[in-house]
Structures are given as structure tokens and as C-alpha cells.
């Protein structure tokens, strides 16, 4: 029951690797460590008590990906590997089109080339998409049949890859494809051994808040307090990364058992404002999180949360963990690893 995880050393990939081992699968990590750290592999071994095989290289290298597929014959592939910083994608669009769309094309062509060979399992893919494909939603909660749009090159790449998968599946109905639209993943494994490790100053709220609580930054800038939300700050559907990891296991099991492709939201179905996150983090850490109100961040939407009904019906999966648990686990990781995976 080998499962290949492209970008498996990253934030969501590493938590999914643990969940897969616990569910009886054998994950194999494929990663070039462009936005992750090799030290994660030892942490995974400590948590799982098993050595997870590593294939170090680039998903853009199609012949090499083919050789990895031939060697491991995975019953499923989870494609996490991609760049994900919205602001960077505006400044460097070609990097995003190259890595995110080119990377998906390369992986899919490698899967296609090897699928017909003897002893290769039916092509089965889980794709990391994002709530970003809903653009600025007309209302909340968001169901999977809402219109899709994009407001930046990063979001555009997720949309294009979704469309590519639809076209591929129409041409080749034997492919089994799960498209998972993540809302806002936060938190860390309860061991505190793996977590989110932003290379630079974090773009996202929760890692920034954690770095303020530990004293690396003076204060959080709250991007706008004049949104049409209860306290004026942006509202998002924060989902514990452990729940998200469980969602990937459920998606793989559903693809393998039912053999049918699907698209689902992975969110909790409830939203929290920036100020609610700040208060929850102060409770979890026992530290103050000073903040100042700053102008709105260009491209931000007022509110975004999922209708997770379809995921529950199809996968038998539901997010369990509360915002307080998300903050407590993010804080444990931050305290134990003030510099992330770097010594």
C-alpha cells in the first residue's frame, strides 16, 4: 500500500505522512526541499517509529519521476508539491506557472507513461487545491459548486490544474482523482516535533501570531478592521492540520474503495475573525499578542468558510479540533522549535 507524496516533507505533506502510517499505508516522500527541510525526515521517524523512504529530487524532472513510480508502484499519489505565497506569485508569476502547472503536468505525464506497464496500479491521484479557487465568494458558506475565479497567479495555477484534471479524467475515465480544496490549515502535530516552518517572515496569520507571542516580532498588523464582519476583521475557516491530514487518508481510502473521482472542500464549516484568533492564541500561550490595525491587504476577501457537507457524506470525514486546540498545538511547536527545523 505505497503512497507517493510529492512535497511530502512540507507542512501538510509531513502531517499526512504520519496519518498514512497510522492508517496502515506506506508513505514515500518525494521532495526537493525547496520550501522544506531534510530534518523533517528524522522527526517523522521519531513520531512513527518507522523510516519513511525519501526520494530527493524535482517533480519537474519527468523521467526521474517515472523511475520513482516504477520503483515504488504506489497505489496512490498525493500531489502537494507547489509554491503557495500569494504575494510572491504576483511578483514572480512565471515561477508559479512553471512550478505549479509545469510540476503537475510533469507528474501526470509520468503517471500516464507508466500506468499501462505491467504490475502498475490504476492511476490514483489526490490533488492539493485551495479555497482560493472560489475567488471572492458571493456568500458563505461555500459549496463545491460555487463559481470559480482567481485574483492572483497562485490562485490561477490551482484553477488551471483543476481544469487539467477534469480534462484528463474525461479522456481517461480509469483515472481516480480527488481534488481537495483546503481552507486555512493551521496548528501542528501534538508531539510538537513537526509543524509549519515559514522560510521568511510569515505571510499567514497563525505563524505570524506565534512569532509575536514568542517575541520575534513586536506586534501583529491586523489587515483591516472595517470589513462587513462582526468585529470588522477578516473571517476564515481555520482547520487543524491533523484534521486535514485525516481528510487525505479518507480521500485515498474512498478513491481506492469506490473508484470514483470527486472534488470536496476540507474545512470546518465555521469562521473565526483575526481578533478571535489573537484572543485564542493569548489563551493558549499565556502570552500577550500585541496588535495594531493596518490597512486592508490587497486581494483579501472579507469572509470565507466552507460548507463541509459533501466531504462528510462522501468520505465519512469531519474536522474535529477546535480553534483552542489549533492554537495550543501551534504554540507547542513554536516554543519547542523557535527556528523551525533550522538548528
Active site residues: 154
Q: According to CB under 6 A, which one of 184, 242, 263, 285 is a site residue for ligand UFG? A: 184
State yes or no: residue 263 binds ligand UFG (CB under 6 A).
no
State yes or no: residue 319 binds ligand UFG (CB under 6 A).
no
State yes or no: residue 204 binds ligand UFG (CB under 6 A).
yes
CA atoms within 13 A of residue 142's CA, in its CB half-sphere? 28
- If the CB atoms of residues 106 and 273 are measured against ligand UFG, the closer one turns out to be 273
Q: Are strands 235-236 and 272-273 parallel, antiparallel or unpaired?
A: antiparallel
Q: Are strands 220-223 and 291-294 parallel, antiparallel or unpaired?
A: parallel
Cβ atoms of residues 84 and 131 within 8 Å: no
State yes or no: residue 205 binds ligand UFG (CB under 6 A).
yes
Q: What is the DSSP string of 22-68?
A: HTT-EEEEEE--SSS-TTHHHHHHHHHSSPPPEEES-TT-HHHHHHH
Shortest CB 184 distance to ligand UFG, Å: 5
State yes or no: residue 208 binds ligand UFG (CB under 6 A).
yes
Sequence-separated contacts (24+) of 314-318 with Cβ below 8 Å: 314/254, 314/262, 314/264, 315/247, 315/250, 315/251, 315/253, 315/254, 315/264, 316/250, 317/246, 317/247, 317/250, 317/251
- If the CB atoms of residues 33 and 223 are measured against ligand UFG, the closer one turns out to be 223
Contact positions with ligand UFG (CB under 6 A) in 321-340: none
- Sign for the CA dihedral angle at 125, 131, 132, 138 comes to positive
Query: Which has the closest alpha carbon to 7: 28, 31, 27, 39?
Result: 31
Shortest CB 73 distance to ligand UFG, Å: 32
Q: According to CB under 6 A, which one of 86, 255, 311, 315 is a site residue for ligand UFG? A: 86
**Residues near 320 by Cβ (< 8 Å), separated by ≥ 6?**
240, 243
Judged by CB under 6 A, the stretch of 111-119, 128-136, 163-171, 307-315 that binds ligand UFG is 128-136
> What backbone torsions phi and psi does residue 35 show, to the nearest 5 degrees?
-140, 40
Query: Which has the closest alpha carbon to 216: 277, 289, 294?
Result: 289
Judged by CB under 6 A, the stretch of 100-108, 111-119, 125-133, 210-218 that binds ligand UFG is 125-133
State yes or no: residue 140 binds ligand UFG (CB under 6 A).
no
Q: According to CB under 6 A, which one of 5, 47, 78, 131 is a site residue for ligand UFG? A: 131
Q: E-assigned strands of 90-224? A: 124-130, 176-182, 184-186, 220-223
Q: According to CB under 6 A, which one of 300, 307, 312, 325 is a site residue for ligand UFG? A: 300
- If the CB atoms of residues 62 and 221 are measured against ligand UFG, the closer one turns out to be 221
Contact positions with ligand UFG (CB under 6 A) in 266-295: 274
Give the count of residues interacting with ligand UFG (CB under 6 A).
20
- If the CB atoms of residues 45 and 91 are measured against ligand UFG, the closer one turns out to be 91
Contact positions with ligand UFG (CB under 6 A) in 14-73: none
Please report, for residues 11, 43, 238, 284, the alpha-carbon distance to residue 323 in angstroms, rounded to integers and kept in the order given.
Answer: 18, 25, 7, 10
Q: According to CB under 6 A, which one of 15, 79, 84, 240 is a site residue for ligand UFG? A: 84
* Rounded-to-integer distance, Cα 252 and Cα 21, Å: 13
State yes or no: residue 89 binds ligand UFG (CB under 6 A).
no
Cβ atoms of residues 33 and 56 within 8 Å: yes
Shortest CB 234 distance to ligand UFG, Å: 2
State yes or no: residue 297 binds ligand UFG (CB under 6 A).
yes
Judged by CB under 6 A, the stretch of 5-13, 67-75, 203-211, 261-269 that binds ligand UFG is 203-211
State yes or no: residue 203 binds ligand UFG (CB under 6 A).
yes
Binding-site ranges for ligand UFG (CB under 6 A): 84, 86, 130-132, 155, 184, 203-205, 208, 220-223, 234, 236, 274, 297, 300
Amino acid at each position: 500500500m505505497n503512497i507517493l507524496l510529492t512535497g511530502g516533507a512540507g507542512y501538510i505533506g509531513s502531517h499526512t505522512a504520519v496519518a498514512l502510517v497510522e492508517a496502515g499505508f506506506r508513505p514515500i516522500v518525494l521532495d526537493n526541499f525547496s520550501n522544506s527541510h531534510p530534518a523533517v525526515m528524522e522527526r517523522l521517524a521519531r513520531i512513527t517509529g518507522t523510516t519513511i523512504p525519501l526520494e530527493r529530487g524535482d517533480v519537474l524532472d519527468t523521467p526521474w519521476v517515472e523511475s520513482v513510480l516504477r520503483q515504488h508502484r504506489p497505489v496512490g499519489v498525493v500531489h502537494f508539491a507547489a509554491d503557495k505565497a500569494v504575494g510572491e506569485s504576483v511578483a514572480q508569476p512565471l515561477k508559479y506557472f512553471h512550478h505549479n502547472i509545469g510540476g503537475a503536468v510533469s507528474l501526470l505525464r509520468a503517471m500516464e507513461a507508466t500506468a499501462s506497464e505491467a504490475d502498475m496500479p490504476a492511476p490514483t491521484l489526490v490533488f492539493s487545491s485551495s479555497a482560493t479557487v472560489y475567488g471572492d465568494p458571493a456568500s458563505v458558506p461555500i459549496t463545491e459548486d460555487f463559481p470559480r475565479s482567481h485574483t492572483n497567479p497562485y490562485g490561477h495555477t490551482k484553477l488551471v490544474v483543476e481544469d487539467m484534471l477534469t480534462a484528463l479524467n474525461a479522456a481517461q475515465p480509469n483515472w481516480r482523482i480527488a481534488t481537495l480544496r483546503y481552507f486555512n490549515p493551521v496548528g501542528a502535530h501534538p508531539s510538537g516535533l513537526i509543524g509549519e516552518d515559514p522560510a521568511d517572515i510569515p505571510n499567514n496569520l497563525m505563524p505570524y501570531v506565534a512569532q509575536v507571542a514568542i517575541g520575534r516580532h513586536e506586534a501583529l498588523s491586523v489587515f483591516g478592521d472595517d470589513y462587513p464582519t462582526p468585529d470588522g476583521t477578516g473571517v476564515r475557516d481555520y482547520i487543524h492540520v491533523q484534521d486535514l491530514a485525516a481528510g487525505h487518508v479518507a480521500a485515498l481510502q474512498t478513491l481506492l474503495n469506490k473508484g470514483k473521482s470527486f472534488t470536496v472542500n476540507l474545512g470546518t464549516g465555521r469562521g473565526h475573525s483575526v481578533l478571535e484568533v489573537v484572543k485564542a492564541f493569548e489563551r493558549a500561550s499565556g502570552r500577550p499578542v500585541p496588535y495594531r490595525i493596518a490597512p486592508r491587504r490587497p486581494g483579501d476577501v472579507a469572509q470565507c468558510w466552507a460548507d463541509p457537507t459533501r466531504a462528510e457524506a462522501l468520505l465519512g470525514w469531519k474536522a474535529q479540533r477546535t480553534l483552542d486546540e489549533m492554537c495550543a498545538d501551534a504554540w507547542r511547536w513554536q516554543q519547542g522549535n523557535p527556528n523551525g527545523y533550522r538548528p
